[in-house]
């Protein structure tokens, strides 16, 4: 086992990933995850006994059952006993916990996965349960209405314009042109249908490995060279909803601007979020290389953030990029943000 040297971070890489998203899946969470977990393990030629740590992300609120993630461990194979952990968060935070486990020097390999099935119920209502339980949640605002509060402030303060929202919708593929955008129905004023996400069932799984092991498992490992996550206040009244200081700080701590970024994968489920995230992180409004997929077209609660990391890694494995940024968010109106920088190791 590799022991961490004082003051030096271990090199950790993503070596394999598998994902699936569909608007409605008839499979259970276990049935959905079995092929994904089997696929990533087969890609690297490891079975569960050879993986030092297992970490997952999901939502008991979404499943409607306490400790629902325990059942999904059947997709992994928890017998003989395994070292396992879980976060009631997007899988990107399970990814972070796993990275910390590597830094402790106690593992050399790990599997991370997350999943969500919003199709059986109302995700709009489920998301309301994460709001302030005294002042906001009793009002039961749906998720689009909460996002619309931020959108209205952004437009009235001139941080974004309606034309920018239209262009973002075109870029992310929810409409083909401005005329189509402005003919879209208003879902929650001022947000149109093209500004809001389409929800999808899905999941993602990936294998991580430390230096020395990663090179054996992957021709071009996607090395984690920077990662950080921050949180803004839970209370809307003390936040400036036209700014996201948490993502700005996370990007700084992760070293986003220490070198050129070839590909950016943002967890932006609304057009307003896409534009605001790019502004806060100092990224071009129109990227040179489009994202592999856009959450606004298929947003899976608890998996979309980890999927952004998987897509960023794929751009490195495919040779399309050498330094990429992946972003994940959780909570209402970009409350919590995680930023990860991956590199292919090219000189």
Q: What is the CATH number of the domain that holds 40?
A: 3.40.47.10
Per-residue pLDDT of 193-229, as tens digits, reads: 999 999 999 999 999 999 999 999 999 999 999 999 9
Establish if 190 belongs to a structural domain. yes
Same domain, 136 and 209: no
Establish if 313 belongs to a structural domain. yes
- Please identify which residue in the block is written with the tokens 């399309």: 320
Same domain, 113 and 156: no
Same domain, 166 and 203: no
pLDDT of 6 higher than 50: no
Contacts of 235 (CB under 8 A, 6+ apart): 132, 135
**Predicted local confidence at residue 289, as pLDDT:** 86
pLDDT-above-90 percentage for the chain: 78
Establish if 138 belongs to a structural domain. yes
Same domain, 50 and 180: no
What mean pLDDT is predicted for residues 160-166? 97
Same domain, 240 and 154: no
Same domain, 128 and 87: no
**Predicted local confidence at residue 121, as pLDDT:** 77
Establish if 131 belongs to a structural domain. yes
Structure tokens at 44: 């690297």
**Burial classification of residue 331, based on how many CB atoms lie within 10 Å of its CB (0-12 exposed, 13-18 middle, 19 or more buried):** middle
pLDDT of 45 higher than 70: yes
Same domain, 32 and 177: no
- How many Å apart are CA 215 and CA 227, to the nearest integer? 21
Helical pair 271-280 and 143-156, crossing angle rounded to 10 deg: 50
Same domain, 60 and 207: yes
pLDDT of 123 higher than 50: yes
Establish if 333 belongs to a structural domain. yes
**Predicted local confidence at residue 72, as pLDDT:** 87
What mean pLDDT is predicted for residues 147-172? 97
* C-alpha radius of gyration, the chain, whole number: 20
Total domains, the chain: 3
Picking from 217, 249, 271, the residue at the C-terminal end of a domain is: 217
What mean pLDDT is predicted for residues 304-319? 96
Per-residue pLDDT of 234-277, as tens digits, reads: 898 899 999 999 999 999 999 999 999 999 999 999 999 999 99
**Predicted local confidence at residue 125, as pLDDT:** 78
**Predicted local confidence at residue 66, as pLDDT:** 79
What range does the domain containing 320 cover?
225-343
Same domain, 132 and 210: no
Same domain, 211 and 77: yes
Picking from 183, 217, 251, the residue at the C-terminal end of a domain is: 217
């Amino acid at each position: 086992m590799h022991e961490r040297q004082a003051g030096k971070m271990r090199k950790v890489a993503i070596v394999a990933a598998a994902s699936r998203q569909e608007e409605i899946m008839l499979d259970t969470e276990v049935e959905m995850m079995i092929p994904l977990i089997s696929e990533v393990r087969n890609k690297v030629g490891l079975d569960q006994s050879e993986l030092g740590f297992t970490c997952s992300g999901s939502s008991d609120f979404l499943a409607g059952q306490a400790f629902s993630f325990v059942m999904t461990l059947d997709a992994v194979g928890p017998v003989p006993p395994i070292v396992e952990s879980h976060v009631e968060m997007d899988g990107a935070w399970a990814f972070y916990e796993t990275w910390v486990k590597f830094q402790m020097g106690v593992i050399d390999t790990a599997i991370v996965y997350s999943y969500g099935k919003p199709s059986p119920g109302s995700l709009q209502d489920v998301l309301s349960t994460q709001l302030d339980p005294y002042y906001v949640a009793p009002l039961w605002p749906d998720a689009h209405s909460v996002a619309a509060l931020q959108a209205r402030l952004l437009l009235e303060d001139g941080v974004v314009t309606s034309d920018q929202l239209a262009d973002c919708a075109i870029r992310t593929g929810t409409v083909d042109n401005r005329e189509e955008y402005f003919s879209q129905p208003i879902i929650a004023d001022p947000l149109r249908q093209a500004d809001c996400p389409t929800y999808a069932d899905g999941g993602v799984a990936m294998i991580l490995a430390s230096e020395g092991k990663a090179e054996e498992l992957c021709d071009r490992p996607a090395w984690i060279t920077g990662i950080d996550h921050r949180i803004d206040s839970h209370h809307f009244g003390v936040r400036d909803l036209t700014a996201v200081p948490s993502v700005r700080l996370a990007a700084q701590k992760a070293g986003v601007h220490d070198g050129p970024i070839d590909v950016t994968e943002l967890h932006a489920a609304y057009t307003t979020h896409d534009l605001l995230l790019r502004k806060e992180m100092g990224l071009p409004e129109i990227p040179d290389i489009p994202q592999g997929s856009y959450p606004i077209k298929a947003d899976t609660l608890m998996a979309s953030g980890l999927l952004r990391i998987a897509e960023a890694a794929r751009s490195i494995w495919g040779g399309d990029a050498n330094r990429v940024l992946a972003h994940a968010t959780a909570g209402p109106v970009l409350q919590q943000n995680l930023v990860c920088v991956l590199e292919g190791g090219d000189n």
